[in-house]
């Protein structure tokens, strides 16, 4: 049986990340991701003694978690089974060729009742750039080339945790709305983040003439953010789950409650034929 063609050209992605590191990386998204991860760890209120970080940006995350094992976000993760009480997949899952496989490998690396957290870019990221680039390319060439990686929507991503065998799954998201002096400044930042086009099927020939200048005009006309600025959106997805353990809380079976909700709220329970009181009955 033939393997599906990979979405991401891993060699190209590694080169882009290395180039960004040499030129001085832009890390504000990682700083936001780190803050959110730390907030979630505070809420957990537990000490972790054997953490691991899966990331394509090792310097930043190693500095934030100096005691953690840092593992590249390769297709096959260098994680030993049942070795860690915390695994964080940091800002790389949107490039994964097999997202579920990544989560499964992280779950296998967790000790029972170990915590998994993933943070990565979601489907609402760069909606302005996607729209402007698509409109410009269609007007010039009549078609679209793969230029921006597809990213998952929050409504679909939560199910990945259960498919990977993680318990107590939670999926949430937050948007960061920022502004740039121009669309070209945004593209410059994306390269400095190591987030350029690394799709396997990306166009390897020069882009159509005037593509990016036309994109910039469309972008500036449709997505202004004040005087001489343009808007850009980054959506961050957070997935949290636990390695199964007998000590974890389990949800009660439906119908097993011993107290009615109406009794707890000190109110009257309405049957299927009851008429709600509106306050107009005596009028």
**pLDDT tens readout for residues 166-177:** 999 999 999 999
Tens of pLDDT along 34-51?
A: 999 999 999 998 999 999
Predicted confidence at residue 280, as pLDDT, reads: 53
Asked if the structure places residue 19 within a domain, the reply is yes
Asked if the structure places residue 283 within a domain, the reply is no
Asked if the structure places residue 2 within a domain, the reply is no
Predicted confidence at residue 57, as pLDDT, reads: 97
Asked if the model's pLDDT at residue 74 lies above 90, the reply is yes
More confident residue, 270 or 194: 194
Q: CA 110 from chain center: how many Å?
A: 20
How many domains, in total, are found in the chain? Answer: 1
Share of the chain above pLDDT 70, in %: 87
Poorest-pLDDT segment among 61-65, 80-84, 120-124, 155-159: 155-159
SS3 96: coil
Tens of pLDDT along 259-275?
A: 666 676 667 665 555 55
Asked if the structure places residue 276 within a domain, the reply is no
Asked if the structure places residue 43 within a domain, the reply is yes
Give the tokens for residue 231: 């808007």
CB contact at 8 A, 121 and 232: no
Asked if the model's pLDDT at residue 78 lies above 80, the reply is yes
Asked if the model's pLDDT at residue 283 lies above 50, the reply is no
Asked if the structure places residue 212 within a domain, the reply is yes
pLDDT confidence tier of residue 152, bands split at 50, 70 and 90: confident
Cα three-residue angle 177-125-61, rounded to 5 degrees? 85
CB contact at 8 A, 69 and 54: no
Asked if the structure places residue 24 within a domain, the reply is yes
Give the tokens for residue 37: 């991860």
DSSP code at position 193? T
In CATH, what number is assigned to the domain containing residue 219?
A: 3.40.50.150
Residue range of the domain that includes 255: 10-264
Q: Tokens 């994964």 appear where?
A: 96
More confident residue, 19 or 271: 19
């Amino acid at each position: 049986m033939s393997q599906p063609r990979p979405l991401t050209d891993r060699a190209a992605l590694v080169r882009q990340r290395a180039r960004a590191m040499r030129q001085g990386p832009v890390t504000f998204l990682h700083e936001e991701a780190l803050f959110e991860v730390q907030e979630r760890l505070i809420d957990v209120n537990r000490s972790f003694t054997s953490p691991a970080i899966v990331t394509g940006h090792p310097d930043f995350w190693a500095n934030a978690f100096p005691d953690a094992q840092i593992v590249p976000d390769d297709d096959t993760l260098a994680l030993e089974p049942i070795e860690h009480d915390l695994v964080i997949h940091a800002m790389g899952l949107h490039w994964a060729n097999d997202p579920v496989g990544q989560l499964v490998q992280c779950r296998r690396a967790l000790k029972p009742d170990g915590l998994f957290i993933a943070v990565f870019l979601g489907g609402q990221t760069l909606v302005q750039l996607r729209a402007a680039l698509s409109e410009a390319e269609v007007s010039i060439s009549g078609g679209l080339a793969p230029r921006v990686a597809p990213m998952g929507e929050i409504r679909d991503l939560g199910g990945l945790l259960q498919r990977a065998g993680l318990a107590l799954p939670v999926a949430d998201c937050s948007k960061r709305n920022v502004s740039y002096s121009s669309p070209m400044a945004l593209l410059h930042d994306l390269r400095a983040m190591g987030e350029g086009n690394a799709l396997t099927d990306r166009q390897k020939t020069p882009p159509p003439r005037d593509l990016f200048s036309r994109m910039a005009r469309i972008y500036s006309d449709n997505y202004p953010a004040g005087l001489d600025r343009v808007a850009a959106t980054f959506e961050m997805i957070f997935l949290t789950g636990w390695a199964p353990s007998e000590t974890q809380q389990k949800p009660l079976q439906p119908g097993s409650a011993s107290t009615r909700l109406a009794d707890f709220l000190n109110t009257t329970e309405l049957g299927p034929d009851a008429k709600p009181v509106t306050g107009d009955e005596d009028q």
